[in-house]
C-alpha cells in the first residue's frame, strides 16, 4: 500500500531546478539594455523594445532561430549565411527591429514574409565590395517599415527595388556608391516629377561613409523631399547638392569632407535650418557668406580651425538657436561687440575646448534668451559678475576643467534662473564666506573640493536635488552646511572629502534615491568589527554604485537598504594582497534588489547562500571576474535564481566543482545564463591546446550521485510542467503514470506476484446518482449470503474508502486491490470526474499490467459512443462478453446470469452451464436486450 506514490515521492525529494540557455545568443529585456549594450554594438537596438536578442557566429540560420524566443521584438544576427531563404523569420512575427550582419549575397523572394510589424531593418557587412542582390518585391510585406539601412553591402543599380510607403529613413553607408544618381536606379520610387504631387518624403537620407561618393548627376533625386541629408566622410561638394533636384531639404550634415568655407549658396538655395560642418578646415568666415545664412536655426562648426569670429556674426543669423564652436582656436569671444547690438535668439552656445583666457564684461549681453552655456576645457582663471550680465534666463553653466582660481563673491548674481552649475576640476579656493548667492533655483551642483586645513565648512544651497563632490587624495575633510538637505535625490562623491557621521546620515539626506561612491575606500563607511558591513542606513535609496580604489583590505557587505533596486560594485579587489571573495561577503539583506552588477571585485565563489537575502533579484551581471566557481548548492536554489545571469569578459574556473554547470545550462528553463567568453580548459599542465570547458569536465571529473540526481530531477521537472497543460481532470494523468509505473514494477518482479492476495473481490465504480441502483439491485445479489447472494467482498467508495485519505489515492489503491473492476456507467457517471478517473485508470491497467485485472462495464442506459471517453481504446480492450446493458424489469434474470457467468470464470461464483452471456453470444431468453460496442 502506498507504493503507487513512488513517482510523486521522487518528484518531491529530488532537487527541482530551472533555467534555460540559448547558445551563442544574448537575450535581454529592453529596459536592461544598458547592462549589456557593448554586445549590441554591431546593430543598435532600441531600449523601448520589450525583448532583445543578439546571436553571433551564425552559420545555420534555422538552427540559430530555434534558440530565439518567439516573443523577441529586436534581433541582431552576425555570422556567415550567404542566402536568406523564403519565410526565414516566420517563427518571429512580432519582430520590430532586425539587424543582419551575415555576409548576405542574396535574398530569395518572400524571405521577409510575415514581418508585418517590422519597423527597422539593417543589412550589415564588412566593406569588401560584396554585392547584395534583392528581388524587386523584397520589402513588399513590410507594411510598418520606417527605417531601412544598408551598412557595408554594395547594391546593383539595376535592382529596381520597391520601397514600402511607410519608409521614413533610408541609409546606404560604407558601400560602393559613387554617384548619387545610382539611388534612382536602385530605388526608382524615390524619384518623381514635382508636378505630379505625389513626391516621396524622407525624414532622413544617410549617404555618409561612402568614400567613393563624389558625383551627383543633375536631377538625380528629382522631386524628393528630405528633412536631413547626411554626406559625412564623402568627397561630395556642397554645391553639388543643389543640382540633385531635391524639392525640399531642411538639414545638411557634411562632416569630415575637407570643406574650407561655408556653403552659402547651398544654405540659401534650400533655406536650410540646420547645418553641421564638424571636423572640417574652415579658418575664416566671410561676411558675405553669412548674409546667405539667415535661415539657419542650428550651426555646428566644432573642430575646425577658427581663430576669430567676424563682426555681426550673430546678427546675420537672427533665427539661430544652437551654435557649436567647440574645439577651435578662439582666444576671444566676440559675440556681442556692444550693448546696442541686436538681440539674438540663441538658446545653446558651446565654446568648450578653445583657448579662452578672459571673458570681458558684457560678453554675452546680447543673448538674453540663452539657456545653456558650455565653457569647459578653456584657460579661464578669473570670472567677474559682469561677465554674465544679460543672461537672466541661463539655466546651465559648465566651467569644468578650467584653471579657475578666484571667483568674485557676486559672480552669480546675474544668473537668477540658473539650475545646473559644473565647477569640477577647477582650482577655486573656497572659504566659509564663499556662497552661491544669486540663483533662486539652483538644483544641480558639481563642485571640486580643494585641499584645505581641517575644520573648514562648505556652505551649499539648501534645495539641491543633485550634488556631485570631487576630493583629492590625502585632503582634509570638509563639513557640510546646512546639515540637512531635504530634497536631495542624487549624491555623487568621488574621493572622500566630507566629514559625515554614519548614525544620522538619513537625517542629513532624508530623500536620497541615488548614491555614487567613486574612487574611494569604503573603510570609513563600514563597520570595523569581525563582519564588515555598510553603515549608511538610507531607507529610500534605490540605486547605489560603488567604485573602489583598490585599497580595501577586506570586503564591505552592502546590506540594510530596504528600497535598493540597483547595485553596482566595481574595482573592489585589494591590489596588494588579493584574496578570493564570496558573493555573500559583498551583498546581504536587500529584499527589493532587482539588478546586481559586479566588476573586478575579486569574486570567486557563487553559492546559494548569497541569494538568501535577494528575493527580488532579476538580473546578475558578472564582469571581469576570473576563475569563477559556481557552487553546486545552486542546484536546489535554481527556482529562486535571477531570471538573467550574464558572465561577461569573465572566465569559469577549470575545476570539477563547475562540472554540473554544463548540463544545467542545457536543461534548465528559467534562469537564462550568457557566457560571453567561450570557457576552455588546458588538457594537461603546460600544454597550449585547450578544450571546451564543460565537455572536458564531464569526461574527466567523477560522476557524483548528486549530479545524476540533478539530471534525473530536471527530466522529472519537465514532466511535471507538462501535466497541468493536459485537458483532463485533476490528477488523472498523474495516476495514469503511476499505474503504468506500478505495472512495470510488477512485471520486473515476475512471478512473485502470481500468488498475490486481493483485499476485495469486486471494486464497484459508480456515481452518487446511481448509488440507489447499486444498493438496491447489485449489492444483495453479489454480497448477500448464499443461497440468495454470492457472498463476495465488494468495495464501495462511499462505504469502504479510507477516511481522511485523498480520493485519488483511495481510487488507485482500491482498483489495484480488487480482482475485478465493475464500472456502472450512465450519463451522470460520465460527467463525474471521479468515475471518469476510475474508468481511465482501469483501462490503463488493462493495457500496461503483466497480469491484467478484469474490467466489466454495466450500462444503465443507452450511451452514444461519442460520449464514451477513450472509445477506441475501450472498444479494443473489452471483449464482447465484458459489457452489458441493464435490461427492462422482466428481463433481469438474463443480466444476472451474464454477471454470474463472468465472475464464475474468475472462480468467484458457481455458474450453471446453460446460462447464456449478454455481450456477444446469442441469448436464450426471449426479448433479451443486447448492446454491441458498434451501436454505442
pLDDT at 928: 33
Q: Is it true that the peptide bond before 787 is cis, omega within 30 degrees of 0?
A: yes
Phi-psi region of 447 (alpha: psi -120 to 50; beta: other; left: phi over 0): beta
**For the chain, percent of residues with pLDDT exceeding 90:** 39
pLDDT at 933: 37
Q: Does the pLDDT of residue 190 top 50, yes or no?
A: yes
pLDDT digits (tens, 9 = 90+) for 218-232: 889 998 999 999 999
Torsion angles phi and psi, residue 203, rounded to 5: -70, -35
Pairing mode, strands 690-692 and 680-682: antiparallel
Q: What nine digits make up the cell of 322?
A: 544652437
Least confident of 107-116, 181-190, 859-868: 859-868
Integer angstrom CA distances of residue 292 from 249, 264, 266, 313: 16, 5, 9, 12
pLDDT at 900: 85
Q: What nine digits make up the cell of 582?
A: 564570496
| Between 192 and 923, the higher pLDDT residue | 192
Q: Which residue has the cell 534615491?
A: 513
Rounded (5°) CA angle 604-605-609: 150
Residue 344 DSSP one-character state? P
Contact call for residues 100 and 130 (beta carbons, < 8 A): no
Sorting pLDDT into bands at 50, 70 and 90, what band is 424? very high
CA 458 – CA 480 distance, rounded (Å): 5
Contact call for residues 106 and 84 (beta carbons, < 8 A): yes
Sorting pLDDT into bands at 50, 70 and 90, what band is 766? confident
For the chain, percent helix, then strand, then coil, each to nearest 5? 25, 20, 55
| Between 834 and 241, the higher pLDDT residue | 241
| Between 911 and 905, the higher pLDDT residue | 905
Integer angstrom CA distances of residue 397 from 333, 376, 411, 415, 805: 16, 9, 12, 10, 78
Q: What nine digits make up the cell of 806?
A: 485523498
pLDDT at 534: 80
| Between 895 and 396, the higher pLDDT residue | 396
Q: Does the pLDDT of residue 46 top 80, yes or no?
A: yes
Q: Does the pLDDT of residue 522 top 90, yes or no?
A: no
pLDDT at 868: 67
CA 650 – CA 626 distance, rounded (Å): 5
Sorting pLDDT into bands at 50, 70 and 90, what band is 680? confident
**For the chain, percent of residues with pLDDT exceeding 70:** 80
pLDDT at 699: 75
Q: Does the pLDDT of residue 423 top 90, yes or no?
A: yes
Count CB-CB contacts under 10 A for residue 132.
22
Residue 409, SS3 per DSSP: coil
CA 545 – CA 549 distance, rounded (Å): 13
Q: Give strand pairing partners of 151.
A: 124, 173
Count CB-CB contacts under 10 A for residue 880.
13
Rounded (5°) CA angle 30-488-521: 80
Sorting pLDDT into bands at 50, 70 and 90, what band is 207? very high
Q: What residue spans of 152-296 are helical by DSSP H? A: 182-186, 238-242, 264-270, 287-290
Torsion angles phi and psi, residue 568, rounded to 5: -125, 125
pLDDT at 352: 97
pLDDT at 294: 93
Q: Does the pLDDT of residue 922 top 50, yes or no?
A: no
pLDDT at 89: 95
Sorting pLDDT into bands at 50, 70 and 90, what band is 236? very high
pLDDT digits (tens, 9 = 90+) for 246-294: 999 999 999 999 999 999 999 999 999 999 999 999 999 988 888 899 9
Mean pLDDT, residues 680-687: 62
Q: Does the pLDDT of residue 148 top 90, yes or no?
A: yes
Q: What nine digits make up the cell of 796?
A: 464501495
pLDDT digits (tens, 9 = 90+) for 773-812: 888 888 888 888 877 778 888 898 888 888 888 777 787 7
Max mean pLDDT range (34-38, 678-682, 696-700)? 34-38
Mean pLDDT, residues 64-86: 93
Q: Give strand pairing partners of 172.
A: 150
What is the distance of C-alpha 632 from the center of its chain? 26
Mean pLDDT, residues 877-905: 78
CA 144 – CA 148 distance, rounded (Å): 11
pLDDT at 800: 86
Q: Does the pLDDT of residue 418 top 80, yes or no?
A: yes
pLDDT digits (tens, 9 = 90+) for 287-325: 888 889 999 999 999 999 999 998 889 989 999 999 999
Q: Does the pLDDT of residue 851 top 70, yes or no?
A: no
pLDDT at 780: 87
Mean pLDDT, residues 394-418: 90
Q: Does the pLDDT of residue 733 top 60, yes or no?
A: no
- The distance in angstroms from the start CA to the end CA of the chain is 37
pLDDT at 18: 33
Residue 546, SS3 per DSSP: strand
Least confident of 137-151, 508-522, 684-698, 801-815: 684-698
Q: Does the pLDDT of residue 112 top 90, yes or no?
A: yes
| Between 747 and 209, the higher pLDDT residue | 209
| Between 2 and 601, the higher pLDDT residue | 601
pLDDT at 497: 67
Mean pLDDT, residues 359-384: 91
Residue 700, SS3 per DSSP: helix
Least confident of 339-348, 482-491, 834-843: 834-843
pLDDT digits (tens, 9 = 90+) for 448-490: 887 666 557 778 888 999 999 988 766 667 777 767 899 999 9
Q: Does the pLDDT of residue 137 top 80, yes or no?
A: yes
pLDDT at 533: 78
pLDDT at 920: 39
Sorting pLDDT into bands at 50, 70 and 90, what band is 687? low
Q: Does the pLDDT of residue 205 top 50, yes or no?
A: yes
pLDDT at 909: 66
Q: Does the pLDDT of residue 3 top 50, yes or no?
A: no
Q: Does the pLDDT of residue 616 top 50, yes or no?
A: yes
Task: DSSP for 412-431, please give it.
Answer: TTT-TT--EEEETT------
| Between 428 and 146, the higher pLDDT residue | 146
- Cβ neighbours of residue 730 closer than 8 Å, sequence gap 6 or more: 808, 833
- Mean residue pLDDT of the chain comes to 81
pLDDT digits (tens, 9 = 90+) for 48-62: 999 999 999 999 999
pLDDT at 870: 53
Amino acid at each position: 500500500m502506498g507504493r503507487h506514490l513512488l513517482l510523486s515521492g521522487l518528484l518531491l525529494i529530488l532537487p527541482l531546478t530551472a533555467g534555460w540557455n540559448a547558445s551563442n545568443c544574448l537575450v535581454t529585456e529592453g529596459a536592461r539594455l544598458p547592462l549589456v549594450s557593448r554586445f549590441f554594438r554591431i546593430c543598435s537596438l532600441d531600449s523601448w523594445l520589450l525583448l532583445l536578442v543578439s546571436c553571433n557566429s551564425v552559420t545555420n540560420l534555422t538552427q540559430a532561430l530555434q534558440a530565439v524566443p518567439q516573443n523577441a521584438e529586436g534581433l541582431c544576427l552576425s555570422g556567415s549565411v550567404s542566402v536568406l531563404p523564403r519565410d526565414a523569420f516566420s517563427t518571429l512575427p512580432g519582430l520590430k527591429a532586425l539587424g543582419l550582419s551575415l555576409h548576405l549575397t542574396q535574398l530569395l523572394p518572400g524571405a521577409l514574409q510575415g514581418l508585418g510589424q517590422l519597423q527597422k531593418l539593417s543589412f550589415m557587412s564588412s566593406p569588401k565590395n560584396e554585392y547584395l542582390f534583392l528581388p524587386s518585391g523584397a520589402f513588399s510585406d513590410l507594411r510598418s517599415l520606417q527605417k531601412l539601412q544598408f551598412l557595408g553591402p554594395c547594391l546593383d543599380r539595376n535592382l529596381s527595388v520597391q520601397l514600402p510607403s511607410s519608409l521614413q529613413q533610408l541609409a546606404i553607408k560604407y558601400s560602393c556608391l559613387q554617384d548619387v544618381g545610382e539611388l534612382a536606379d536602385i530605388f526608382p520610387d524615390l524619384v518623381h516629377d514635382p508636378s505630379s504631387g505625389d513626391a516621396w518624403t524622407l525624414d532622413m537620407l544617410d549617404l555618409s561613409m561612402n568614400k567613393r561618393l563624389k558625383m551627383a548627376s543633375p536631377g538625380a533625386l528629382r522631386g524628393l523631399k528630405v528633412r536631413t541629408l547626411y554626406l559625412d566622410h564623402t568627397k561630395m561638394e556642397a554645391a553639388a547638392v543643389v543640382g540633385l533636384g531635391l524639392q525640399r531639404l531642411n538639414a545638411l550634415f557634411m562632416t569630415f569632407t575637407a570643406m574650407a568655407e561655408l556653403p552659402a549658396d547651398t544654405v540659401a538655395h534650400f533655406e536650410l535650418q540646420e547645418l553641421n560642418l564638424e571636423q572640417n578646415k574652415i579658418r575664416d568666415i566671410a561676411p558675405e557668406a553669412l548674409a546667405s545664412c539667415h535661415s539657419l536655426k542650428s550651426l555646428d562648426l566644432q573642430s575646425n580651425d577658427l581663430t576669430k569670429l567676424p563682426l555681426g556674426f550673430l546678427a546675420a543669423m537672427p533665427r539661430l538657436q544652437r551654435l557649436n564652436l567647440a574645439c577651435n582656436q578662439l582666444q576671444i569671444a566676440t559675440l556681442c561687440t556692444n550693448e546696442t547690438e541686436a538681440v539674438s535668439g540663441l538658446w545653446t552656445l558651446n565654446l568648450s575646448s578653445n583657448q579662452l583666457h578672459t571673458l570681458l564684461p558684457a560678453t554675452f549681453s546680447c543673448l538674453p534668451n540663452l539657456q545653456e552655456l558650455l565653457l569647459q576645457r578653456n584657460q579661464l582663471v578669473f570670472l567677474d559678475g559682469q561677465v554674465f550680465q544679460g543672461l537672466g534666463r541661463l539655466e546651465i553653466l559648465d566651467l569644468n576643467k578650467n584653471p579657475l582660481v578666484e571667483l568674485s563673491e557676486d559672480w552669480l548674481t546675474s544668473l537668477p534662473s540658473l539650475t545646473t552649475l559644473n565647477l569640477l576640476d577647477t582650482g577655486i579656493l573656497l572659504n566659509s564666506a564663499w556662497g552661491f548667492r544669486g540663483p533662486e533655483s539652483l538644483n544641480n551642483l558639481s563642485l571640486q573640493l580643494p585641499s584645505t586645513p581641517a575644520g573648514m565648512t562648505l556652505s551649499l544651497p539648501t534645495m539641491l536635488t543633485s550634488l556631485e563632490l570631487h576630493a583629492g587624495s590625502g585632503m582634509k575633510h570638509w563639513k557640510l552646511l546646512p546639515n540637512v538637505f531635504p530634497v536631495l535625490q542624487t549624491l555623487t562623491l568621488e574621493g572622500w572629502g566630507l566629514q559625515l557621521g554614519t548614525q544620522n546620515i538619513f537625517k542629513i539626506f532624508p530623500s536620497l534615491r541615488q548614491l555614487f561612491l567613486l574612487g574611494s575606500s569604503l573603510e570609513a563607511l563600514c563597520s570595523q568589527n569581525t563582519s564588515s558591513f555598510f553603515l549608511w542606513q538610507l531607507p529610500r535609496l534605490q540605486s547605489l554604485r560603488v567604485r573602489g580604489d583598490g585599497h580595501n583590505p577586506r570586503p564591505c557587505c552592502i546590506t540594510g537598504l530596504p528600497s535598493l533596486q540597483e547595485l553596482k560594485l566595481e574595482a573592489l579587489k585589494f591590489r596588494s594582497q588579493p584574496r578570493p571573495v564570496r558573493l555573500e561577503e559583498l551583498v546581504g539583506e536587500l529584499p527589493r534588489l532587482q539588478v546586481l552588477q559586479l566588476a573586478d571585485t575579486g569574486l570567486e565563489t557563487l553559492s546559494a547562500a548569497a541569494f538568501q537575502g535577494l528575493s527580488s533579484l532579476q538580473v546578475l551581471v558578472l564582469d571581469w571576474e576570473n576563475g569563477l566557481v559556481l557552487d553546486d548548492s545552486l542546484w536546489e536554489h535554481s527556482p529562486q535564481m535571477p531570471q538573467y545571469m550574464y558572465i561577461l569578459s569573465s572566465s569559469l574556473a577549470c575545476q570539477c566543482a563547475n562540472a554540473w554547470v554544463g548540463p544545467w545550462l542545457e536543461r534548465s528553463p528559467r534562469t537564462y545564463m550568457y557566457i560571453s567568453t567561450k570557457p576552455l580548459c588546458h588538457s594537461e599542465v603546460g600544454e597550449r591546446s585547450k578544450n571546451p570547458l564543460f565537455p572536458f569536465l564531464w569526461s574527466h571529473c567523477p560522476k557524483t550521485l548528486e549530479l545524476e540526481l540533478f539530471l534525473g530531477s530536471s527530466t522529472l521537472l519537465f514532466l511535471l510542467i507538462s501535466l497541468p497543460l493536459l485537458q483532463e481532470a485533476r490528477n488523472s494523468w498523474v495516476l495514469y503514470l503511476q499505474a503504468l509505473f506500478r505495472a512495470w514494477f510488477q512485471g520486473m518482479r515476475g512471478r512473485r506476484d502470481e500468488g498475490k492476495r486481493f483485499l476485495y473481490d469486486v471494486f464497484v465504480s459508480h456515481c452518487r446518482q446511481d448509488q440507489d441502483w447499486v444498493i438496491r439491485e447489485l449489492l444483495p445479489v453479489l454480497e448477500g449470503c448464499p443461497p440468495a447472494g454470492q457472498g463476495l467482498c465488494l468495495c464501495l467508495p462511499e462505504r469502504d474508502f479510507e477516511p481522511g485519505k485523498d480520493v485519488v489515492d483511495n481510487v488507485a489503491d482500491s482498483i489495484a486491490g480488487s480482482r475485478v473492476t465493475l464500472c456502472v456507467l450512465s450519463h451522470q457517471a460520465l460527467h463525474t470526474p471521479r468515475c471518469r478517473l476510475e474508468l481511465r485508470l482501469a483501462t490503463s491497467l488493462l493495457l500496461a499490467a503483466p497480469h491484467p485485472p478484469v474490467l466489466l462495464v454495466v450500462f444503465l442506459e443507452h450511451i452514444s459512443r461519442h460520449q464514451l471517453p477513450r472509445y477506441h481504446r475501450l472498444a479494443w480492450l473489452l471483449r464482447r462478453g465484458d459489457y452489458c446493458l441493464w435490461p427492462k424489469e422482466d428481463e433481469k434474470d438474463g443480466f444476472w446470469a451474464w454477471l454470474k457467468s463472468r465472475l464464475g470464470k474468475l472462480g468467484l461464483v458457481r455458474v450453471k452451464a446453460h446460462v447464456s452471456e449478454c455481450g456477444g453470444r446469442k441469448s436464450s431468453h426471449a426479448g433479451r436486450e443486447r448492446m454491441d460496442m458498434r451501436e454505442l
